[in-house]
Amino acid sequence: MPAPRKVALLIETSNSYARELLQGVRAWVRENGGWTIRLTEQGRGAAVPDWLQSGWDGHGVIARVESAAIARRLLATGLPVIDVSAALPTLVFPRVATAAAGVAELAADHLARRGLRSFAYCGDRRFHWARRRGEAFAVAARARGGSCALFAPAPGTVDEEIETIARWLAGLPRPVGVFACLDRRGQQILAACRQAGLDVPGEISVIGVHNDELLCELCDPPLSSVIPNARRAGHAAAALLARAMRGRRVPVELHEIAPVGVAARQSTDLGAIGDPRIAQVLRVMQERAASGINVADVLRTVPMARTALERRFKSLLGTSPHAHLRCLRMERVRELLVRTSLPVGEIAAATGFEHAEYLSAMFRRECGLTPREYRAQHATGGEATPGSDARRSA
């Protein structure tokens, strides 16, 4: 048997995204074996540890390369390195990162479905990934017929940044949907709204990225967030490093991982919809789409003329009630395919499809892939168990 490969993981454990990356690496190691892992406690952006630079007899590194200084020190080791951060604008190592355009599309779509046409992005000027998300969000907002204001507060203390954000928010048109570059920035935006006396979600809807569940639920109100597929990113990074350690060529290029969906919470509730009746319809759809309800079922819960529903719905959201319901169901199917290992037949039953064959046909028509092909592209082996929790996308 060949000796195990010694691999260093320079990944912090202080946030949910990084922990999910580590879970993805663990899944790859369980599937393939042959690695001895060295993981030490460190914060995001911490310096490369001395032991890695002074004679460690390892074979490869998966790292969050957060600065040029970290990149230089890792290059000096002469070891294969896979970068699982998008902090630097220039690629130094092969990189695995969340797709900026995919995140922006999900955030813009989520806000647009709440009837919003004014959008804004609050980023962080220090990081390349934050700038890319803002640029992609502006494109996604314009594609939905909206305007988009881009902003990044000057770095300072938490209180200084909140005050700067509050002044910016006060000057935005309302109602407005604000996309935060990550959940911690979303937490600051919600604090700034309270400071400025702005109602969330009535005047300002807020959505973040990473779906750090503890942080999001501790926000007031709880923060909606785009769910990345960090486990798949960690799994993909491990596979690339394995190739490099076998002496195979791994080009210095970007490997983007599509996000999973949106965890909807109160910060983007339907309070911004100007039509209370349509807001009620949307809540019913959001809560019951996976049960297989149709437009007639919705109208039995929220009585109104179907022609009036169609007209008002189209005016506010730019789509039909039937298309909106179909989209909600497909989102739930996609999330269950990625975040659980439920068989397709059980997913069909859980999302209101009478037959798995009908689900598969509709899924292929909507997504261009069969459910099994979609799962193979987006899920990570060993990452989920039947019945594991998957929050509904909306």
How do beta strands 261-263 and 224-227 pair? antiparallel
Which two structure tokens, joined as six digits, stand for 219? 């926000």
273-378 topology per CATH: Arc Repressor Mutant, subunit A (1.10.10)
Per-run averaged pLDDT (10 residues), the chain, 394 residues: 88 93 95 92 86 90 96 95 95 97 96 90 94 97 93 96 97 95 97 96 95 95 95 96 96 95 89 76 86 90 92 85 88 85 89 88 88 82 35 34
Query: Which pTM was predicted?
Result: 0.83
pLDDT at 354: 84
Q: How far apart are CA 299 and CA 280, in angstroms?
A: 11
- The domains spanning 5-98+230-259 and 273-378 adopt the same CATH topology: no
The one-letter amino acid code at 188 reads Q
Residue partners of 361: CB distance under 8 A and separation at least 6:
none
Residue 13 φ then ψ, to 5° = -115, 15
Find the length of the chain. 394
Select from 3.40.50.2300, 3.40.980.10, 3.30.365.10, 3.40.1280.10 the CATH code of 5-98+230-259.
3.40.50.2300
CATH 3.40.50.2300 fits 100-229+262-271, yes or no: yes
pLDDT at 150: 97
3-class SS letters over the chain:
CCCCEEEEEECCCCCHHHHHHHHHHHHHHHHHCCEEEEECCCCCCCCCCHHHHCCCCCCEEEECCCCHHHHHHHHHHCCCEEECCCCCCCCCCCEEEECHHHHHHHHHHHHHCCCCCEEEEECCCCCHHHHHHHHHHHHHHHHCCCEEEEECCCCCCHHHHHHHHHHHHHCCCCCEEEEECCHHHHHHHHHHHHHHCCCCCCCEEEEEECCCHHHHHHCCCCCEEEECCHHHHHHHHHHHHHHHHCCCCCCCCEEEECCCEEECCHHHCHHHCCCHHHHHHHHHHHHHHHHCCCHHHHHHHCCCCHHHHHHHHHHHHCCCHHHHHHHHHHHHHHHHHHHCCCCHHHHHHHCCCCCHHHHHHHHHHHHCCCHHHHHHHHCCCCCCCCCCCCCCCC
> Domain map of the chain by residue range?
5-98+230-259, 100-229+262-271, 273-378
pLDDT at 270: 74
Interior angle at CA 206, CA 114 and CA 23, nearest 5: 110
Closest listed residue to residue 32, CA positions, set 49, 69, 58, 7: 7
Count other C-beta atoms under 10 Å from residue 348's C-beta.
24
